[in-house]
Amino acid sequence: MIRLLRTTDGGWYVSEHRDRHNHALSSTCGEKMHWQSHKHIDKHAKDLVRRLRENNVSLGKVYSIIGSFFGSMESIPFTKRSLKSLCGEISREQSDNDAVETMDVFGKLLDDDPEFKYTVQLDDESRMKTLLWTTARCSEKYACFGDVLTFDTTYCTNLYDMPFGLFVGVNNHFQSIILGGVLMRDEKEDSFRWVFREFMRMMGGKGNHPKTILTDQARAMELAIADELPNTAHRWCKWHVLKKAKECLGALYNKRSSFRAEFHKLVSELYTEEEFEKGWAAMLERHGLQKQPYLPQIYEVRHNPYFRNVFCAKMTSTQRSESTNHMLKRYIPPGCPMHLFVKQYAKLQFDRDQEESYQEKRTALEIPWRYILKRWTRDVRDILPKHLQHYQKDKESSMPSSYRHSSLHLACLE
């Protein structure tokens, strides 16, 4: 122990020194790291951690990245426990004044994009119930590719466990395009009515409804679409229909059963209604399933997943929405506040726009060779006079050429 005291002129001097410790010494370097003196994290490291956590980098990877700055993991001046405590502190800071922060983020997006649109639905206590937003680029895409939409609300990883819905379409490169996002407190019919009504208003009103919309089998969503989008063909996602059949039919639906193969054929391969009706009756008779409770229920709503005479842009499921949800997980940390959710969603939107721009550039510049005249290619020097055309690369004779013929060919090219 060392005791320091100040002198009258502002200096320091050692007043006492004891070479015996009043505690047991740490036997290893790892044990030493857990003393209070090794819990300090400087402001630059804190700022780096904050940026990494906002971009959904896991705690373990954050610690490894910091280790690379210090040269090795052993050289990091604080422990992973200290880092974990800091991450909890950052999360608590981010959740403070979340609604105000969210409006600030929307304000910045509106400054960058004057055509950016958002709308908020409040409950009876003036609290935020539903939040819907879209960008000018999304509106432009909807004008070109808004004939078919998928809408899915399976993503629910945020601080308030609010379902997040995505309006997704497909462009001329057959890429998924994001047309709008909505955070919902509940999935009731009134909430869906408000979402579809406001989304259509943002996209140009009643005269601009999509031809087809694909959703899961939610009854509330079905009723809302029937009221708000009366001229739109509503179809169920085929993947959800088959998934629910697997849950309800149990062992009857296992991979090796003949029933499963026959059921899939009825759902996916038959073209006319007469073929389906005959095939369904034959399947029930063959497997003795007339009294099975689930099959009569799904038969009554058989028109919902039926895609004949319905334009669907080669989409028969909401898996484009679900794949976009999967991408969201790479950008948005679990349990994040609303304003951070919106910021990270904007990054996903930017990356998707970049991918689409690349495909536009690639298809605009790359013209298939068979459509380009030879005189405009690198092989223009290979165009020879009529009496020497049999020496051209694209009209070479199958007969072997002599040294003299080869010399003549080279001379012509020169």
CATH of the domain at 188: 3.30.420
From the number of C-beta atoms within 10 Å of its C-beta (0-12, 13-18, 19+), residue 304 rates as: middle
**Judgement on whether residues 223 and 138 belong to the same structural domain of the protein:** yes
The token pair that represents 13 in the structure block: 């001097």
User: 342 and 210: one domain?
Assistant: yes
What is the spatial distance between Cα 275 and Cα 270, in angstroms, rounded to a whole number?
Answer: 6
In this structure, the answer to whether residues 216 and 327 fall within a common structural domain is: yes
The whole-angstrom separation of Cα 345 and Cα 261 is: 40
Residue at 108 is within a domain: no
Each residue's pLDDT, cut to its tens digit, for the chain (414 residues) gives 788 888 888 898 888 888 777 667 666 666 666 666 667 888 888 999 999 988 888 888 999 999 898 888 878 888 888 888 888 888 888 778 788 888 899 999 999 999 999 999 988 888 888 999 999 999 999 999 989 998 988 777 666 778 888 899 998 888 888 999 999 988 899 999 999 999 999 998 777 899 999 888 888 998 999 999 998 988 888 777 778 888 888 878 877 778 888 888 887 777 778 888 888 888 888 888 888 888 888 888 776 556 667 788 777 766 666 577 777 788 888 778 888 888 888 988 898 889 888 888 887 766 666 666 666 566 655 666 666 666 666 665 554 556 566 676 667 666
Instruction: Please name the helix (run of DSSP H) or strand (run of DSSP E) that holds residue 397, with its range, or none.
Output: none
Instruction: Name the residue range of residue 296's domain.
Output: 244-304
- How far apart are the C-alpha atoms of 275 and 287, rounded to whole Å? 18
As separate numbers, helices (DSSP H) first and strands (DSSP E) second, the chain gives: 15, 9
Q: How far apart are CA 306 and CA 316, in angstroms?
A: 9
Q: How many domains, in total, are found in the chain?
A: 4
One-letter amino acid at 230 equals P
Domain boundary among 95, 121, 136: 95
* 291 and 384 together in one domain: no
| β-pair partners for 121 | 130
Entry pTM: 0.70
Q: Which of 304, 328, 347 is the last residue of a domain?
A: 304
What is the rounded CA–CA span in Å between residue 134 and residue 34? 48
Helix (H, G, I), strand (E, B) or coil at 16: strand
Name the nearest CA neighbour of 336 among 3, 39, 57: 57
Token look-up 């090795």 returns 72
